[in-house]
Every structure is written in structure tokens, then in C-alpha cells.
């Protein structure tokens, strides 16, 4: 956003030329800012982190595998949604919500599962045994 201030200051210093590229540059910077604010945190920060911990849940069997697979599928759909938005897809709130719905519901189910049942005790014991041997 600070780059927009610099562009506008240069526009004023140039004497407001009629055939200016400042407008195009300003729109480009604003589009980049919008992508950086809306897509990058959701796609890269949340989705990559969620992929890692659902993969770990799947490998370690700390939660049931169906719950881990549901998370992996939901995160993948979220990444598809983010990439579609980032590369100029037609904004459609219905499609966006449908693609994000599986991970939203899965996160709530995982939270309830962990509150009610917790992690799988036998998986914790086997992981502790492997750590003790090493």
C-alpha cells in the first residue's frame, strides 16, 4: 500500500500528464496487494501448515485415518479455491464457499473429536517406545 503513495506523489510531481502510465501502475499495485492480502495467507500459511499436520496425523495414527484423509482432501480443495482466485477466476461466492466448506466442517469435527476422545493412546505409546529405543 505504501507503494501506491509513492506512485501518487510521482504523479503529482510529473504535473498530471494526460497520457500517463501511473493509473496502470496504481491498478497493478492494488491488484497485487489484494492478492497478497486475500489469497497468500489462506493458501500458503493455513493450507501448507494444515497439510503438514494432517499428514503427520495420518502417519502417526493419532486420530482416525478417515479424519486425517478428510482434512487432506479439504485442504486440497481450499488450495484449489485459492489458486483459482489468485489466477483470475471469476469471483463466485457460492463456488468459493462450497470448496472451503469441507475443511471448515472438518476442523470443527477434529476439535470436538480431540475434546471428547483425545489422541489415540496406543499410537502415543508406540511413538514413545520408538523414541525410547532411539
In this structure, the answer to whether residues 10 and 51 fall within a common structural domain is no
Domain count, the chain: 2
Could you tell me the residue range of the domain that residue 63 belongs to?
39-133
User: In whole angstroms, what is the distance from residue 123 CA to residue 134 CA?
Assistant: 17
Stated pTM of the model: 0.68
User: In whole angstroms, what is the distance from residue 133 CA to residue 49 CA?
Assistant: 29
pLDDT tens for each residue of 81-118? 888 877 766 667 788 888 889 999 999 999 999 999 88
In this structure, the answer to whether residues 73 and 10 fall within a common structural domain is no
Amino acid at each position: 500500500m505504501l507503494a501506491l503513495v509513492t506512485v501518487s506523489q510521482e504523479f503529482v510531481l510529473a504535473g498530471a500528464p494526460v497520457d500517463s502510465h501511473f493509473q496502470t501502475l496504481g491498478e497493478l499495485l492494488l491488484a497485487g496487494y489484494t492478492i497478497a492480502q486475500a489469497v497468500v495467507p489462506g493458501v500458503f500459511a493455513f493450507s501448507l501448515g494444515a497439510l503438514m499436520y494432517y499428514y503427520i496425523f495420518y502417519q502417526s495414527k493419532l486420530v482416525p485415518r478417515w479424519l486425517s484423509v478428510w482434512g487432506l482432501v479439504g485442504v486440497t480443495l481450499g488450495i484449489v479455491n485459492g489458486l483459482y482466485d489468485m489466477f483470475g477466476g471469476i469471483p463466485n461466492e457460492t463456488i468459493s464457499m462450497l470448496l472451503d466448506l469441507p475443511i471448515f466442517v472438518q476442523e470443527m469435527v477434529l476439535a470436538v473429536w480431540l475434546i471428547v476422545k483425545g489422541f489415540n493412546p496406543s499410537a502415543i505409546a508406540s511413538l514413545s517406545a520408538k523414541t525410547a529405543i532411539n
